[in-house]
Chain A
Amino acid sequence: MTRIEILQQLLDQGFHRIGQIEILRAESLASPPPCAYLLCHEDDIEDVQNASGQPSGFSESSNPFDARDISTYADDGEYRFTKGQINLKRRWVMHLEDITALHEAIENFYPSNFSLWLAQQRGTLEVQTLRDKLNRQTGMYRFARSISNEGAQRLVQRVCGPAHQCAKKILWQIDADTPLEDSEASRFNGIGSGLAEPHAIPLLCREACNHFVAECRKESKKEFEAKAQA
């Protein structure tokens, strides 16, 4: 089955939410606009439904690649360092002509996430441990690899999870033998809406993001300085 066919099957099974994005079928609206699917922020569903996909004051787009522009900054102007952050802008609606456009849009709102989920379903997803990620860093980020396991465990609890704005399900361990300690962040299932699969698919973190790597670098510097002072 192609990925588009799998997405179609998933939609037929009731999939309608990814991250903070709701997928609406145009035909479900009172006066359907000329498109197949609409996307909007999960908190704007009612407005979009009530206005049959054209709520006033919302920005409108039909290009799935506009997903990137919509998702770069939060409403307060903050750069969203990972698209797993739960501060997606509101008050926009996307009208998509077909399922291919829908696939492109969700892959741009949540880069590669549908692909990763698909690979997980197919049994081909390889997860990268934190140590593997850190050991491959270059330049000033090389220093990140010196972080202790304890420091890394603490960072997960301080940086990841919805309490810290990231709604991805962490798939990685510290290394092959060291799983993450139990915490809200490590337990999080990647579905911020609280819906069950297949109504939503999880956001997946198969390798620590570069923001996490940057935090590891800061933390390992602190550890180094603390040791030097002791």
Chain B
Amino acid sequence: MPITAKPQAALFIAGHGSTENPDSSVPYFDHADEIRKRGLFAEVHCIFWKEEPSFREAWYLTDCEEVYVVPDFISEGYFTQDVIPRELELTGPTTTVRGKTIHYCAPVGVHPSMTQLLLRRAKEVAPDVDPTQTTLIIVGHGTNLNPNSTKAIKDQCNLLRLQTEIPYAAVLDTYMEEQPFIADWHTLAETPNVVVVPFFISDGLHSYQDIPVLLGFESEVGAAASQREVFRHNPHELHGRKLYYSSAIGTERLIADVILDQIHDFDQLHSNTTHDTH
């Protein structure tokens, strides 16, 4: 959905980041670059929990009085509902704080337009497979601590099942740490081809090492060393199937569109709700 330009406003893309893995913040910067190119905002900044600049330093980055904050997170949860609002001193969808009006949007992962990106990614990683002979598996972390993270994946899988553009034989949601387990992919999927897309924002240990080990094409020891190499050996012939493995969905540059979609939806939903704090 196109949004009107906001030449007076700044956009903050809020990400987790990592102290040890620089690849982890690459997607956020890519998304910011992509949006910057479109010239919709006066400024576009990335802010982080675990990298510089921190959420708490966000105030100082811009002189714009209006700021949109979009969490570049895969689901609603502790970070989007507790940490980011606390760090940015937000009390509602729109908060006026320190002389700035901050609009706090929903995280990218819960937007319905993610469906198109998942399809695109699945098509990219296995361009020549017959979809009617292919199972598309979306894999998430899965944990009892945050039921929302599994909900975001289930919602996407439902949308993927409903679409008719690419008629996959089946679409399955699976998890690393809860049922249905990704490790059981070969019993869950009944087709000769299987495409696996990790539902994470960035590539890191989960997509480089943990999931490849659970899928069975990397051994436990030293698997992480191959890092991005892990995505370059498709298809893997395993259990009599052809397995295609993609990098994390968040590394897709067009997440930029989903960020803009979240801003569009925010504007539609909340036109006049401002909370003043200080």
Contacts and interface: CB of A to CB of B under 8 A. Distances in A.
A112 B61 contact: yes
B229 interface: no
Given A65-B33, A68-B29, A115 B61 contact: yes
B53 A81 contact: no
Contacts of B33: 65
A112 B78 contact: no
Range of interface residues on chain A?
20 to 34
Contacts of B60: 112, 115-116, 118-119, 124-125
B86 A207 contact: no
Given A115-B60, A138-B83, A79 B53 contact: no
B22 A73 contact: yes
Given A68-B29, A210-B19, A136 B78 contact: no
Contact of A3 (B54, B59, B63, B83): B63
A128 interface: yes
A210 B86 CA distance: 18
A51 interface: no
B19 A214 contact: yes
A107 to B, nearest CB: 8
Interface residues of B, number: 23
Contacts of A107: 61
Contacts of A214: 19
A125 B56 CA distance: 11
Nearest to A119: B60
Interface string A68-81: 10001100000101
Contacts of B19: 81, 210-211, 214
B50 A210 contact: yes
Interface of B: 19-22, 29, 33, 36, 50-54, 56-57, 59-63, 78, 83, 86-87
By Cβ-Cβ distance, the 6 closest A-B pairs, closest first, are A112-B53, A115-B60, A111-B52, A210-B19, A111-B53, A119-B60
Interface of A: 2-3, 65, 68, 72-73, 79, 81-83, 107, 111-112, 115-116, 118-119, 124-125, 128, 136, 138, 206-207, 209-211, 214
23 contacts: A65-B29, A65-B33, A65-B36, A72-B22, A73-B22, A79-B22, A81-B19, A81-B20, A82-B52, A112-B52, A112-B53, A112-B60, A115-B53, A115-B61, A116-B60, A118-B60, A125-B60, A138-B78, A138-B83, A207-B54, A207-B57, A210-B19, A211-B19
